[in-house]
Amino acid sequence: MKRVSINSNTVLLLITIGLFAAMYAAGCVIYADKGFSHFQTFLNVLITNAGLICVACGMTCVMLTGGIDISVGSLIAMDCMILAYSMGVKGYPCVPMLVFVLAIGLVFGLVQGFLVAYMEIQPFIVTMAGMFFARGMTAVISTAQLSITQQSNPQYYAWANAKIELPAFLGYMNNKGAVIVPFIRPTVVIALAVVAIIFLVLRYTKFGRSLYAVGGSESSAKMMGLDVRRTKLKAYVLSSFLCSIGGICYSLNTMAGAVQQAKGFEMEAIASSVIGGTLLTGGVGNVIGSLFGVLINGTINTLVITNGKLLSSWANIATAALLCFFIILQSVFALIKERKK
Protein backbone atom coordinates (compact mmCIF):
# COMPACT_ATOMS: atom_id res chain seq x y z
CA MET A 1 0.00 0.00 0.00
CA LYS A 2 1.54 3.21 -1.08
CA ARG A 3 0.30 6.36 0.46
CA VAL A 4 0.47 9.41 -1.75
CA SER A 5 2.11 12.02 0.35
CA ILE A 6 2.06 15.60 -0.73
CA ASN A 7 5.04 17.47 0.40
CA SER A 8 4.41 20.72 2.18
CA ASN A 9 6.38 22.68 -0.42
CA THR A 10 4.03 21.46 -3.11
CA VAL A 11 1.12 22.56 -0.95
CA LEU A 12 2.63 26.03 -0.65
CA LEU A 13 3.04 26.23 -4.42
CA LEU A 14 -0.54 25.10 -4.95
CA ILE A 15 -1.75 27.73 -2.50
CA THR A 16 0.15 30.40 -4.41
CA ILE A 17 -1.31 29.30 -7.73
CA GLY A 18 -4.76 28.95 -6.18
CA LEU A 19 -4.54 32.40 -4.68
CA PHE A 20 -3.56 33.88 -8.02
CA ALA A 21 -6.46 32.14 -9.72
CA ALA A 22 -8.90 33.26 -7.04
CA MET A 23 -7.68 36.83 -7.13
CA TYR A 24 -7.88 36.93 -10.88
CA ALA A 25 -11.34 35.35 -10.94
CA ALA A 26 -12.56 37.85 -8.35
CA GLY A 27 -11.21 40.69 -10.51
CA CYS A 28 -13.01 39.27 -13.53
CA VAL A 29 -16.32 39.25 -11.65
CA ILE A 30 -16.00 42.62 -9.88
CA TYR A 31 -14.53 44.58 -12.75
CA ALA A 32 -16.26 42.76 -15.62
CA ASP A 33 -17.57 46.08 -16.94
CA LYS A 34 -14.08 47.54 -17.05
CA GLY A 35 -12.70 44.84 -19.29
CA PHE A 36 -10.71 43.02 -16.63
CA SER A 37 -11.91 39.68 -17.90
CA HIS A 38 -10.35 40.20 -21.32
CA PHE A 39 -7.41 37.88 -21.92
CA GLN A 40 -5.37 40.92 -22.88
CA THR A 41 -5.48 42.16 -19.27
CA PHE A 42 -3.67 39.06 -18.19
CA LEU A 43 -1.20 39.42 -21.04
CA ASN A 44 -0.59 43.02 -20.02
CA VAL A 45 0.36 41.84 -16.54
CA LEU A 46 2.93 39.61 -18.21
CA ILE A 47 4.18 42.40 -20.48
CA THR A 48 4.55 44.89 -17.65
CA ASN A 49 6.32 42.40 -15.42
CA ALA A 50 8.53 40.58 -17.94
CA GLY A 51 11.64 42.18 -16.44
CA LEU A 52 10.60 41.34 -12.90
CA ILE A 53 10.01 37.72 -13.88
CA CYS A 54 13.61 37.39 -15.12
CA VAL A 55 14.97 39.08 -12.02
CA ALA A 56 12.84 36.96 -9.69
CA CYS A 57 14.18 33.79 -11.33
CA GLY A 58 17.75 34.87 -10.62
CA MET A 59 16.79 35.94 -7.13
CA THR A 60 15.25 32.53 -6.49
CA CYS A 61 18.48 30.80 -7.48
CA VAL A 62 20.48 32.95 -5.08
CA MET A 63 17.95 32.54 -2.30
CA LEU A 64 18.06 28.77 -2.74
CA THR A 65 21.68 28.85 -1.62
CA GLY A 66 20.59 30.80 1.45
CA GLY A 67 21.93 34.06 0.02
CA ILE A 68 20.33 37.25 -1.21
CA ASP A 69 21.02 39.70 -4.00
CA ILE A 70 19.80 43.23 -3.34
CA SER A 71 21.82 44.78 -6.17
CA VAL A 72 19.33 43.85 -8.88
CA GLY A 73 17.22 47.02 -8.82
CA SER A 74 20.23 49.28 -9.25
CA LEU A 75 21.74 46.99 -11.85
CA ILE A 76 18.56 47.32 -13.89
CA ALA A 77 18.71 51.09 -13.60
CA MET A 78 22.34 50.99 -14.77
CA ASP A 79 21.49 48.69 -17.68
CA CYS A 80 18.61 50.91 -18.74
CA MET A 81 20.77 54.01 -18.43
CA ILE A 82 23.57 52.48 -20.50
CA LEU A 83 21.10 51.49 -23.19
CA ALA A 84 19.32 54.85 -23.15
CA TYR A 85 22.56 56.80 -23.19
CA SER A 86 24.30 54.77 -25.89
CA MET A 87 21.32 54.36 -28.16
CA GLY A 88 19.20 57.39 -27.32
CA VAL A 89 21.97 59.99 -27.01
CA LYS A 90 24.95 58.55 -28.87
CA GLY A 91 22.97 56.61 -31.44
CA TYR A 92 25.02 53.42 -31.16
CA PRO A 93 23.61 50.29 -32.82
CA CYS A 94 21.55 48.13 -30.53
CA VAL A 95 22.93 44.59 -30.90
CA PRO A 96 26.45 45.33 -29.61
CA MET A 97 24.97 47.38 -26.79
CA LEU A 98 22.71 44.54 -25.73
CA VAL A 99 25.67 42.17 -25.72
CA PHE A 100 27.61 44.76 -23.74
CA VAL A 101 24.86 44.99 -21.13
CA LEU A 102 24.72 41.20 -20.80
CA ALA A 103 28.50 41.12 -20.39
CA ILE A 104 28.24 43.73 -17.64
CA GLY A 105 25.77 41.45 -15.89
CA LEU A 106 28.25 38.58 -16.04
CA VAL A 107 31.15 40.64 -14.73
CA PHE A 108 29.00 42.18 -12.02
CA GLY A 109 27.90 38.72 -10.93
CA LEU A 110 31.42 37.35 -11.05
CA VAL A 111 32.70 40.05 -8.72
CA GLN A 112 29.80 39.71 -6.28
CA GLY A 113 29.92 35.94 -6.44
CA PHE A 114 33.66 35.88 -5.85
CA LEU A 115 33.32 38.09 -2.80
CA VAL A 116 30.51 36.00 -1.38
CA ALA A 117 31.78 32.54 -2.23
CA TYR A 118 35.54 32.79 -2.01
CA MET A 119 36.07 35.70 0.36
CA GLU A 120 33.15 34.50 2.47
CA ILE A 121 31.61 37.91 2.98
CA GLN A 122 27.94 38.22 3.89
CA PRO A 123 25.88 38.32 0.68
CA PHE A 124 23.77 41.14 2.06
CA ILE A 125 26.81 43.38 2.46
CA VAL A 126 28.37 42.43 -0.86
CA THR A 127 25.24 43.02 -2.87
CA MET A 128 24.48 46.17 -0.93
CA ALA A 129 27.84 47.48 -2.10
CA GLY A 130 26.84 46.37 -5.60
CA MET A 131 23.57 48.21 -5.19
CA PHE A 132 25.23 51.50 -4.28
CA PHE A 133 27.86 51.06 -6.95
CA ALA A 134 25.38 50.44 -9.77
CA ARG A 135 23.09 53.27 -8.68
CA GLY A 136 26.08 55.56 -8.45
CA MET A 137 27.36 54.59 -11.88
CA THR A 138 23.91 55.28 -13.30
CA ALA A 139 24.13 58.84 -12.04
CA VAL A 140 27.69 59.16 -13.36
CA ILE A 141 26.51 58.29 -16.86
CA SER A 142 23.73 60.83 -16.71
CA THR A 143 21.45 62.43 -14.19
CA ALA A 144 19.00 63.40 -16.86
CA GLN A 145 15.92 61.50 -17.89
CA LEU A 146 16.98 59.94 -21.20
CA SER A 147 14.79 58.14 -23.65
CA ILE A 148 15.20 56.09 -26.77
CA THR A 149 13.02 57.30 -29.62
CA GLN A 150 12.14 55.98 -33.03
CA GLN A 151 14.57 58.49 -34.52
CA SER A 152 17.52 57.62 -32.32
CA ASN A 153 17.27 53.88 -32.76
CA PRO A 154 14.59 52.60 -35.11
CA GLN A 155 15.67 48.99 -34.73
CA TYR A 156 15.30 49.00 -30.94
CA TYR A 157 12.08 50.94 -31.24
CA ALA A 158 10.71 48.32 -33.62
CA TRP A 159 11.59 45.53 -31.18
CA ALA A 160 9.98 47.34 -28.30
CA ASN A 161 6.76 47.81 -30.19
CA ALA A 162 6.69 44.44 -31.90
CA LYS A 163 3.45 42.62 -31.30
CA ILE A 164 3.27 38.89 -31.29
CA GLU A 165 -0.35 38.15 -32.00
CA LEU A 166 -2.04 35.19 -30.43
CA PRO A 167 -4.85 33.22 -32.12
CA ALA A 168 -7.86 35.45 -32.67
CA PHE A 169 -10.34 33.26 -30.77
CA LEU A 170 -8.62 34.32 -27.54
CA GLY A 171 -9.60 37.90 -28.28
CA TYR A 172 -12.93 39.64 -28.02
CA MET A 173 -15.25 41.75 -30.10
CA ASN A 174 -15.36 45.43 -29.26
CA ASN A 175 -18.59 47.39 -29.46
CA LYS A 176 -17.91 48.35 -33.04
CA GLY A 177 -17.84 44.72 -34.04
CA ALA A 178 -14.13 44.54 -34.75
CA VAL A 179 -12.16 41.63 -33.32
CA ILE A 180 -9.41 42.77 -31.00
CA VAL A 181 -6.63 40.21 -31.35
CA PRO A 182 -4.67 39.66 -28.15
CA PHE A 183 -0.93 40.14 -28.34
CA ILE A 184 2.24 39.90 -26.32
CA ARG A 185 5.58 41.62 -26.65
CA PRO A 186 8.89 39.85 -27.34
CA THR A 187 9.85 40.53 -23.73
CA VAL A 188 7.18 38.09 -22.58
CA VAL A 189 8.70 35.37 -24.73
CA ILE A 190 12.10 36.13 -23.23
CA ALA A 191 10.74 36.05 -19.68
CA LEU A 192 8.84 32.81 -20.13
CA ALA A 193 11.86 31.22 -21.82
CA VAL A 194 13.94 32.25 -18.80
CA VAL A 195 11.42 30.64 -16.46
CA ALA A 196 11.38 27.45 -18.51
CA ILE A 197 15.16 27.23 -18.77
CA ILE A 198 15.77 27.96 -15.11
CA PHE A 199 13.07 25.48 -14.17
CA LEU A 200 14.90 22.79 -16.15
CA VAL A 201 18.26 23.84 -14.77
CA LEU A 202 17.02 23.65 -11.19
CA ARG A 203 15.35 20.31 -11.63
CA TYR A 204 17.56 18.47 -14.07
CA THR A 205 21.14 19.62 -13.77
CA LYS A 206 23.84 18.97 -11.25
CA PHE A 207 24.28 22.70 -10.77
CA GLY A 208 20.58 23.12 -10.02
CA ARG A 209 20.51 20.38 -7.46
CA SER A 210 23.73 21.68 -5.92
CA LEU A 211 21.95 24.97 -5.25
CA TYR A 212 19.37 23.10 -3.19
CA ALA A 213 22.05 21.06 -1.44
CA VAL A 214 24.07 24.13 -0.51
CA GLY A 215 20.96 25.83 0.82
CA GLY A 216 19.91 22.72 2.73
CA SER A 217 23.21 22.30 4.50
CA GLU A 218 26.39 23.89 3.35
CA SER A 219 28.69 21.70 5.39
CA SER A 220 26.90 18.55 4.25
CA ALA A 221 27.12 19.63 0.63
CA LYS A 222 30.85 20.09 1.11
CA MET A 223 31.21 16.72 2.78
CA MET A 224 29.30 15.06 -0.02
CA GLY A 225 31.93 16.30 -2.40
CA LEU A 226 30.11 19.22 -3.97
CA ASP A 227 32.02 22.36 -4.81
CA VAL A 228 30.11 24.76 -2.59
CA ARG A 229 32.08 27.85 -3.51
CA ARG A 230 31.76 27.35 -7.22
CA THR A 231 28.04 26.70 -6.85
CA LYS A 232 27.58 29.93 -4.95
CA LEU A 233 29.68 31.87 -7.43
CA LYS A 234 27.57 30.53 -10.28
CA ALA A 235 24.38 31.46 -8.44
CA TYR A 236 25.42 35.11 -8.20
CA VAL A 237 26.64 35.18 -11.78
CA LEU A 238 23.32 33.71 -12.87
CA SER A 239 21.40 36.24 -10.80
CA SER A 240 23.23 39.25 -12.26
CA PHE A 241 23.06 37.82 -15.77
CA LEU A 242 19.31 37.19 -15.53
CA CYS A 243 19.03 40.64 -14.02
CA SER A 244 20.65 42.09 -17.14
CA ILE A 245 18.22 40.17 -19.32
CA GLY A 246 15.49 41.60 -17.09
CA GLY A 247 17.08 45.02 -17.52
CA ILE A 248 16.79 44.71 -21.28
CA CYS A 249 13.14 43.70 -20.94
CA TYR A 250 12.59 46.63 -18.61
CA SER A 251 14.31 48.98 -21.04
CA LEU A 252 12.18 47.68 -23.93
CA ASN A 253 9.11 48.42 -21.82
CA THR A 254 10.07 51.91 -20.75
CA MET A 255 12.46 53.00 -23.51
CA ALA A 256 14.01 55.26 -20.92
CA GLY A 257 16.90 55.64 -18.51
CA ALA A 258 16.82 57.52 -15.22
CA VAL A 259 18.66 57.39 -11.93
CA GLN A 260 15.55 56.67 -9.92
CA GLN A 261 14.39 53.89 -12.20
CA ALA A 262 13.51 50.47 -10.78
CA LYS A 263 13.93 51.65 -7.22
CA GLY A 264 12.85 48.96 -4.76
CA PHE A 265 12.84 46.41 -7.56
CA GLU A 266 15.04 44.05 -5.55
CA MET A 267 12.44 44.00 -2.79
CA GLU A 268 9.69 43.20 -5.27
CA ALA A 269 11.77 40.33 -6.60
CA ILE A 270 12.39 39.00 -3.09
CA ALA A 271 8.71 39.41 -2.21
CA SER A 272 7.71 37.51 -5.35
CA SER A 273 10.09 34.68 -4.54
CA VAL A 274 8.84 34.46 -0.96
CA ILE A 275 5.20 34.51 -2.03
CA GLY A 276 6.15 31.80 -4.50
CA GLY A 277 7.37 29.58 -1.68
CA THR A 278 11.10 30.25 -1.58
CA LEU A 279 12.55 30.19 1.92
CA LEU A 280 14.98 32.94 2.89
CA THR A 281 16.98 30.33 4.73
CA GLY A 282 17.60 28.49 1.49
CA GLY A 283 17.07 25.03 0.13
CA VAL A 284 13.39 25.34 -0.71
CA GLY A 285 11.66 27.02 -3.62
CA ASN A 286 11.31 26.98 -7.38
CA VAL A 287 10.83 29.38 -10.25
CA ILE A 288 7.27 28.39 -11.06
CA GLY A 289 6.35 29.68 -7.63
CA SER A 290 8.31 32.85 -8.26
CA LEU A 291 6.54 33.35 -11.59
CA PHE A 292 3.21 33.19 -9.82
CA GLY A 293 4.57 35.43 -7.10
CA VAL A 294 5.26 38.05 -9.76
CA LEU A 295 1.85 37.50 -11.34
CA ILE A 296 0.10 37.94 -7.99
CA ASN A 297 1.95 41.19 -7.46
CA GLY A 298 1.11 42.32 -10.97
CA THR A 299 -2.54 41.39 -10.57
CA ILE A 300 -2.81 43.37 -7.35
CA ASN A 301 -1.43 46.41 -9.14
CA THR A 302 -3.79 45.94 -12.06
CA LEU A 303 -6.74 45.55 -9.72
CA VAL A 304 -5.89 48.78 -7.93
CA ILE A 305 -5.44 50.61 -11.22
CA THR A 306 -8.65 49.18 -12.67
CA ASN A 307 -10.56 50.32 -9.62
CA GLY A 308 -9.35 53.81 -10.39
CA LYS A 309 -10.46 55.32 -7.06
CA LEU A 310 -7.95 53.58 -4.80
CA LEU A 311 -4.62 55.11 -3.99
CA SER A 312 -1.84 53.18 -5.69
CA SER A 313 -0.29 52.66 -2.26
CA TRP A 314 -2.98 50.12 -1.55
CA ALA A 315 -1.11 47.76 -3.83
CA ASN A 316 1.84 47.93 -1.43
CA ILE A 317 -0.37 47.26 1.53
CA ALA A 318 -1.91 44.27 -0.19
CA THR A 319 1.55 42.92 -0.99
CA ALA A 320 2.56 43.39 2.63
CA ALA A 321 -0.49 41.46 3.80
CA LEU A 322 0.26 38.67 1.34
CA LEU A 323 3.88 38.45 2.44
CA CYS A 324 2.78 38.12 6.05
CA PHE A 325 0.25 35.50 5.05
CA PHE A 326 2.83 33.40 3.24
CA ILE A 327 5.53 33.73 5.83
CA ILE A 328 3.11 32.69 8.55
CA LEU A 329 1.94 29.83 6.37
CA GLN A 330 5.52 28.65 5.93
CA SER A 331 6.16 28.69 9.66
CA VAL A 332 2.94 26.83 10.29
CA PHE A 333 4.03 24.13 7.88
CA ALA A 334 7.45 24.00 9.49
CA LEU A 335 5.81 23.66 12.89
CA ILE A 336 3.55 20.87 11.69
CA LYS A 337 6.57 19.05 10.33
CA GLU A 338 8.38 19.49 13.61
CA ARG A 339 5.34 18.26 15.51
CA LYS A 340 5.12 15.12 13.38
CA LYS A 341 8.60 14.14 14.43
215 binds another protein (CB under 8 A): yes
Q: Which string of DSSP letters, residue by residue, matches 154-172?
A: HHHHHHHH--EEPPGGGSE
Tally Cβ neighbours within 10 Å of residue 290.
Answer: 32
* Residue 135 CB, nearest approach to another protein (Å): 35
Pick from 66, 5, 4, 35: nearest CA to 231? 66
95 binds another protein (CB under 8 A): no
List 209, 280, 314, 327, residue binding another protein (CB under 8 A): 209
Q: Min. distance of Cβ 203 from another protein in angstroms?
A: 7
Indicate whether 225 belongs to the interface with another protein (CB under 8 A): yes
- Determine, following the binding rule CB under 8 A, whether residue 101 of this chain makes contact with another protein: no
Count the residues of the shown chain that bind another protein, applying the rule CB under 8 A. 28
Q: What is the DSSP string of 177-238?
A: S-EE--EE-HHHHHHHHHHHHHHHHHHHSHHHHHHHHHHH-HHHHHHTT--HHHHHHHHHHH
Nearer to another protein, 124 or 204 (CB): 204
Q: Cβ 284 to another protein, closest distance in Å?
A: 6
CB of 287 to another protein, least distance (A): 16
Closest CA to 266 of 163, 130, 164: 130
Minimum CB–partner distance for residue 231 and another protein (Å): 11
Q: Which of the stretches 39-47, 104-112, 223-231, 266-274 binds another protein when contact is defined by CB under 8 A?
A: 223-231
Sign of CA dihedral 142, 148, 154, 155: positive
Q: How far is the CB of 235 from another protein (least distance, A)?
A: 16
Q: Closer CB to another protein, residue 153 or residue 290?
A: 290
Listed residue (278, 274, 279, 281) closest to 297, CA to CA: 274
Cα–Cα distance between 124 and 119 in angstroms, integer? Answer: 14
Q: Does 7 engage in binding with another protein (CB under 8 A)? A: yes
Q: Is 226 in the site for another protein (CB under 8 A)?
A: yes
Binding another protein (rule: CB under 8 A), the pick from 114, 216, 256, 333 is 216
Closer to another protein at the Cβ: 5 or 151? 5
Site string for another protein, 301-340 (x = CB under 8 A): ------------------------------------x-x-
Distance from C-alpha of 184 to C-alpha of 234, rounded to nearest angstrom:
31
CA distance between the termini of the chain: 22
Closest CA to 116 of 105, 106, 128: 128
Q: How many residues does the chain have?
A: 341
CA distance linking residue 232 with residue 16, whole number of Å: 27
Contacting another protein within 178-207 (CB under 8 A):
200, 203-206
Q: Which residues bind another protein (CB under 8 A)?
A: 2, 5, 7, 200, 203-206, 209-210, 212-213, 215-217, 219-227, 283-284, 337, 339
